Structure 1
Amino acid sequence: MTLSCFELGERMLAVEEARAAVLSLVAGPMPAEFLPLALAHGRVLAENAVSPHNVPQCTNAAMDGITLAWPDEDAEKSDVPKSLVPVRFRRVVEIHAGQAPTAPLALGECAGITTGAPLPSGADTVIMREQLADEEGADGVRWAIVDTPDRVRRGQNVRQAGEDIARGALALPAGTRLGAAQLGLLASLGRAKVAVYRRPRVAIFSTGDEVTAPGQPLPLAGIYDANRYSLMALAVEHGAEVLDLGILPDTRDAIADALGRAAAEADLVITSGGVSVGDADHTRAALAAQGELGFWKIAIRPGRPLACGRLAPRGVPFLGLPGNPVAAMVTFLQFAAPLLARLQGRAVVEPPQLVAVAEHALKSRIGRVDYLRGVYRVATDGQLWVAGTGAQGSGILSSMVQANCLIEIAADREAVATGEAVTIQPLFRYP
């Protein structure tokens, strides 16, 4: 994207066009760093993880019981007549998890085995303890008796070496975000440390003389600063490290000074408020003084005024989000979240989308994308249905609390009738 007010600044951009322009502000992910596996939760792999060995390393038992070579149950393919298939096996050794077998099994012999223990040479089947009876002869020889041989199948209850991951196979590709399962998988490869992309540092501050920090007395014409806390939480949910720069007064010099300081420390700078055309909206002017402005109008509701640019001298991306709390959250999800994904080396995709049926009529306007707060549910037949949360004003933060999705109404739709299909974006929610 060529950042130019002449080319983009005064033109109303479509959501997809604006998202592409925001993403073009960064060339690639952050530098990599090595972390102990225990500290890597939520981070993004900076290298392919290739398995140095088979997982599991050895063919092993999936249950406690005995292991043996089971005769072929298919009489037409077996050299052993079914009438001669043994149901008694001489128990010659016990193998426990962590022990390597010392000798192969002969035909008619079995070994006691515990879950996870490697199979000895000559064994191909494990029979669970519940299907067995034990017998000891006068000579001290132990026998395992299979109660229901017709229920045994060759190869049952056996984990093959490399059946999870084969030696030399790609276990996890670079760009994978590390959750609980991924960390367990890396541990199974023997990895004590892992290369991950550094978390992007996101500087966040609010603007406005009317904005008051929680915990302070609320002036008669004041509002508490909800935006900064919502945006900081969203940034953390999307993998960032947050630099909280507090609240700035509505003066161009104060905002310009804060932008300059933030650009020296952060990889992305986000403000809320001060980007519309009002007399007291100084963020765009401060941005022009500290860098360059790319665009500031998007065909979206809520969130039409959104300033996008770079801050000197390093060209740090800047997003000036709207001041209304719902608009700030919606525009973060549509534009800042994909940018954070790119900074972390993750695949950049559009926000996740599903299709649901509207439970009631939904208002919109041609020429802009509307994001309504909604609640979707799954009917007994599997169909997704969605309803709005009620009043949809961009200052009604409770609508985001009630919602489990955003209802996305495309720019070419004037409205959505009851029973019509509509796109929804599920929202992340803690249980």
Structure 2
Amino acid sequence: MNFSEQEWKAAQSQMADADPEQLKAQARMMKNMDKNTVRRMNPQFANMSDQELDMMATQMEMMASNPQMMKSAMQMMGGMDHKEATRKVNQARSGMAKPTMAGGYRKGDRVELHSLKGAAEHNGKQGTVVGPQGERVKVLLDDSESKTLALKVTNLTKLETTEEPVALPDATTMRKGMEAMSQADPEQLKAQAAAMRNMDPDTIRKMNPAMANLSDEAIKASADQMEAMAANPEMIKMAQQQLAGMSPEALEEQMRMVSQMSPDQQAKLQNAAKKMAANGDMEQLAKDMAAGKPPDAEAASKMMEALDEDAVQEMVGAMKQNPTMIKEMMKSSPMAANLTEEQLDQQVQALQNIDDETLKKFVGVAKKIHGIFKPFILGYSRLNRLCGGRLLQVLGVAAVALFVRSIARRFSGGEEAPDGLDALKEAAETVVAAAVTEEDEFAVEGEL
């Protein structure tokens, strides 16, 4: 995409004077108007696809709804000259474009011309790929604003980009990003997630420093996670609270930890986070944790279902290499508000002492136990309310039922004594069923 210096200055002026409501109106117009009409009315959008136009409209809506994001965009545009703006736009365009041209070239690729015979005067010149023409590639020469040549791929050499390495975001940037996400409309987050899925991963890595080292799979998982969190605003608030309580050094260490993981490790963690964020009960769990309360039994049950042995092992393994960060994360949790420094150190040391195989085995056993007792766990909250908070007394019924059942079978010459876990499972289900029936009877009596 090429635009003149005057057009860039006009865009800077328009951005500086932009009104949020005007931006929203413009975004709605772009979404509802025929895309070919948008391209005809705005020459700078001429080479953009329908998906790219929709993504731009979504980003405009998000920016208009977030004053901080809008201010940052104004500052960025205000301090960028025409040459830098052209480079940035072409860089983004090259990532968004699919390699459908001969030789795998994309729009925005930088090339050098060589071995031309009929137009030998152009040999050695450089230009930018602007589109296909049959089996040839159209190139806009650097020394012209309109001169394009349709060339064979054998007459082109792709130039390597000399982009500066993308730096990891600092603590302030991370906090601002989380704040922006917490204020964003859920529908906008969903639209942004959809845009991420349709965008080339290389472009996302270039445009978003926080994702600079993520694999393609991890980026896709991030989009899924963003969409899931859109339905769970409490999850975002909980993460925001934890970020607020961590020191800048710990935050940056956390980012480095993730960046050093392999693509496979990142994908596992992202998928685990996606499962947990997509779970409706996670909203209640987030509220309880933010308030420093133990998690509700039903919410904890759902969390157990979302656990992945490999993902837990990867995260704990990475955290063991960063004991200072672990301690900072614990400190920032409301549930650790009453722990002393000594107690925190003991917990960190305990985590350091867990070997990988033991950890994986523990998670597997925990999930198995949860599967056995799930009918009982899911009824916990309701039963506790029914029993006036005296659920422990009700639990005794399960133990008695198991004991009586075992004794009866052993001394009556009946079936062979069943496995203890199977028996306890049946006993627990019996208690739950009885208690739920009793609760229904109480409800009927209350209505009389």
TM-score range relative to shorter protein: under 0.3
Q: TM-score by structure 2 length?
A: 0.20
Q: Report the structure, 1 or 2, having the larger strand content.
A: 1
More helix by share: 2
Q: Which has the larger radius of gyration?
A: 1
Q: Which has the higher contact order (CA 8 A, sep 6+)?
A: 1
Q: TM-score, normalising length from structure 1?
A: 0.20
